[in-house]
Structure 1
Amino acid sequence: MTSTDALRFGLVGTGPWARRTYAPTLAAHPHAEFTGVWGRRPEAAAELAAGHSTTAYDDVDALFAACDAVAFAVPPDVQAPLAARAAAAGCHLLLDKPLATEPDAARAVVEAADVAGVASAVFCTMRYAPATSAWITEQAAVEGWFTGRADWYGALYTPGDDADVRASTPWRAERGALWDVGPHALSVLLPILGDVVALTARRGAGDTVHLILGHEDGASSTATLSLTTPKAAGGVCVELRGSAGVFTMPTGGTAQEALAVAVDVLLESARTGVPSACDARFGLRITEILAAAQLSLES
């Protein structure tokens, strides 16, 4: 990243994702001044702020007024309207995925950011983790892809897994794997194979969803998404096949490492005015595709 002055970052959210990933990353980042926290539970905001020697805000608009940028670690349908308000207040946006679960709500964030002239980045982990982001960039420059597959087999709702996350994120149980890990799959497939122009979605066991995607450049792909996979069968795999051969995405790194890169990307976009590749507009496109998949499931 090109050197720039530190920006004052606020954090919206106090759940496990905020505590384990966002707050420690913002507190440690050399170009971020962790200015404050707001949450829907004031006592949780106070506890999180105290743990990182920052300020808990009772009023979210007061947090926006005190910040140059805001990171969001809240459910998508809470995130979208607050992000539009933050943009209107002149704050750059570090958004979680999915941006929203309704295209109109996601579009409102894009429009607010455009009007205010603020930068945005959506934290799709694979787009920022060093090993996977480099691999995506390399494959996006290759021609002749025939097909691909992206499989996200999570065991979040398997007995004995992370009860803290399950209890604090009921939107995942309501919306399922399509909306939780679907953005990860799309964030990898789209920059390599092109935009989605046709899709079919079908249900599998548990909350499993199977997607068949047609891409604008003629390639096809599939995605299998699940949060209810048996623990022994869990894992992530992205595979591409084309005239250059068969290529499998590497894995590795931590969420905090990836988020630190996302902060760098947002700072660079704010400094230069050049939109990031995984900005709110890209987040809107992911929401549009997932909404179309939801309609396919319901039909």
Structure 2
Amino acid sequence: MRIGLLGTGPWARAVHAPALSGHGAVDFAGVWGRRPAAAGELAAQHGTRAYDDVDALLADVDAVAVALPPDVQAALAVRAARAGCQLLLDKPLATTVDEGRAVVEAARRAEVASVVFLTTRFQTAPQAWITEQAARGGWFTARAQWLGAVFTGDSPFAASPWRREKGALWDVGPHALSVLLPVLGDVRRVTAAAHGPGDTVHVVLDHAGGASSTLTLSLTAPQAAAGAAVELRGAAGTAVLPESEQGAVEALSRAVDALDAAARTGRPHPCDAAFGLRVTEILAAAGTLLSRDTGLALT
């Protein structure tokens, strides 16, 4: 599979390019970016070609990996699907439901495979845990905390305009949902959403399986408080999401394998664009509630 990279930012440099160039079963065929000089530099580092024209890259490859802001990703994903490229997408799929639907529809019409890279779902131990807990069932409630220090530390993502605009709900919310949905079932209703300190948000979900869950999401947590945790409680007792020894590069390599398998077999991956769209719908509903959140002051 000849695969091209769209994007040259910190995530592309730290994860996508190393994973693609180090993958033994794909041909890392080229890089396109909105900054040609950055594309040239990244391509030179990994022994591949820089493209000035995105359509030229799409014509030369079988698949694309996208490491771009979600509003930019959505339009380019539609373009890539129409060019017949398999899609390895980043989260969130899009920042509006309509844009997400356009990606899903373009992939369906072109009959191309899609995978949304949700890191935890492509790490061996966490994914095995998710599968085990989904099969076990009987869960009563769950809590997920995804606390980042992007805006309180020295993160390379602190300069990201879309993260500053959309906040933790859209940046780390997809990670939490990627764990909860396969275990507890689809979300029937976003019950509540409220603001916390900084960009922190608290979201309450009602799931199709009968359980409820709470999400605490932040990019402005103190560095000492940063980290992710998921806890389930139910008839089987308590279960806690295990940490993974695999980093993002190895996880992305597994996502490439998943995309290749979906393209060859025609069987959709559980984290395909349709799943990404569902996540987008839930985030949008939570965002609507957050826009109405006034709280009740106690004096």
Fold-level match, TM-score > 0.5? yes
Q: Root-mean-square deviation (CA), in Å?
A: 0.7
Is residue 188 of structure 2 the alignment partner of residue 206 of structure 1?
no
Gaps of 5+ in 1: 1-6
**Aligned position for 1:39:** 33
Cα distance in structure 2, aligned partners of 1:259 and 1:133? 14
**Aligned position for 2:295:** none
1:186 to 177, 190, 193: 177
1:172 to 138, 163, 171: 163
Tell me the SS of whatever aligns to 1:150.
Answer: strand
Tell me the SS of whatever aligns to 1:31.
Answer: coil
Cα distance in structure 1, aligned partners of 2:203 and 2:158? 25
**Aligned position for 2:296:** none
* Corresponding letter in the other structure for 1:155: A
Q: TM-score, normalised by structure 2?
A: 0.96
Is residue 13 of structure 2 the alignment partner of residue 19 of structure 1?
yes
**Aligned position for 1:4:** none
* Corresponding letter in the other structure for 1:61: D
Is residue 238 of structure 2 the alignment partner of residue 219 of structure 1?
no
Tell me the SS of whatever aligns to 1:271.
Answer: helix
> Within 5 Å, which residues of 2 pair with 1:101-180?
101-159=95-153, 161-162=154-155, 164-167=156-159, 169-180=160-171
Gaps of 5+ in 2: 293-299
Cα distance in structure 1, aligned partners of 2:124 and 2:24? 18
| C-alpha contact 2:137 2:183 (8 A) present in aligned 1 | no
**Aligned position for 1:298:** 291
1:285 to 262, 275, 278: 278
Cα distance in structure 2, aligned partners of 1:260 and 1:251? 18
Cα distance in structure 1, aligned partners of 2:235 and 2:213? 15
Cα distance in structure 1, aligned partners of 2:276 and 2:124? 20
Tell me the SS of whatever aligns to 1:156.
Answer: coil
* Corresponding letter in the other structure for 1:262: A
Cα distance in structure 1, aligned partners of 2:18 and 2:226? 27
* Corresponding letter in the other structure for 1:80: A
**Aligned position for 2:73:** 79
1:61 to 37, 41, 55: 55
Per-residue CA deviation, residues 97-148 of structure 1 (Å, 9 max, x unaligned), is: 0000000001000000000100000001111011111111111111211011
Q: TM-score, normalised by structure 1?
A: 0.96
> Within 5 Å, which residues of 2 pair with 1:259-274?
259-274=252-267
Tell me the SS of whatever aligns to 1:166.
Answer: coil
Cα distance in structure 1, aligned partners of 2:225 and 2:257? 35
| C-alpha contact 2:58 2:83 (8 A) present in aligned 1 | yes
> How far off its partner does 1:165 sit?
2.2
